[in-house]
Amino acid sequence: MAYADHSQGSSRTISIVIVALIHAVLGYAFVTGLGMKYVKKAAEQLNVIDVKEEPPPPDEEPPPPPPDKPIEPPPVVAPPPIVQTPAPAPPIQTVRTPPPVFNEVPVPAPPPAPPPPPAAKQAAKGVSPRGNPGSWATTEDYPSRALREEKQGTTGFRLEVGADGRVTSCTVTQSSGSPELDDATCKLVSRRARFSPAEDDQGNKIPSTYANRIQWRIPQ
């Protein structure tokens, strides 16, 4: 009994020592990184799965080749028509006519202007009628047509009197409204009126003018 207990105690002691060594080795392995290497290797072995590869599909038969197409002949293109270009026309020759020659004709100088008329002499003595101007036209001189039409009015006139005292012209300055009365006025006065001509400052007789009016009234 004592031997058996002793041998069992020795085995237990050896087991404890071995377990302690194993733990020491494992601790050292973990410290030095050897444990990680073995751990990864073990993990790789565990993750490897044996996958069976599927067989490849059978090869498909290629499609039959297309039938041969007949080769069409190229289209026949007619040659372009030949266009004949007409020969260029000869250049037009321009004949330049020399400019006409004009013979300069001298233009005669204009005649000199006539001298101005002598200034009219100022009358120192004006023209004056001889006799009564009322006798130059009377009721017996009334134009018959104006009398029949009962026309009446006043005719103004201006006379040109020459140096001899006679009337040279008569102008109606105011119409009576009747041509017969106006014409009768100038005819009667030109025939009957006499004047003392006007004179200049040296006593020379000179032409002058005279103006007056005749009032025509139908006699009662």
pLDDT of residue 9: 59
pLDDT of residue 176: 92
What is the Cα gyration radius of the chain? 82
Tokens read off for 53: 């590869």
pTM: 0.44
Answer whether 142's CB lies under 8 Å from 216's CB. yes
pLDDT of residue 157: 95
Tokens read off for 105: 């004709």
pLDDT of residue 23: 73
Answer whether 199's CB lies under 8 Å from 124's CB. yes
List all residues 6 or more positions away from 77 whose beta carbon is below 8 Å from its beta carbon. Answer: none
DSSP reduced 3-state for 133: helix
Q: Can you state the percent helix, strand and coil of the chain, rounding each to 5?
A: 30, 15, 50
Span 61-74, pLDDT tens digits: 666 666 666 666 66
Q: Which residues pair with 134 in a beta bridge?
A: none
Residues in the chain, pLDDT under 70: 1-10, 25, 28-110, 116-123
pLDDT of residue 95: 45
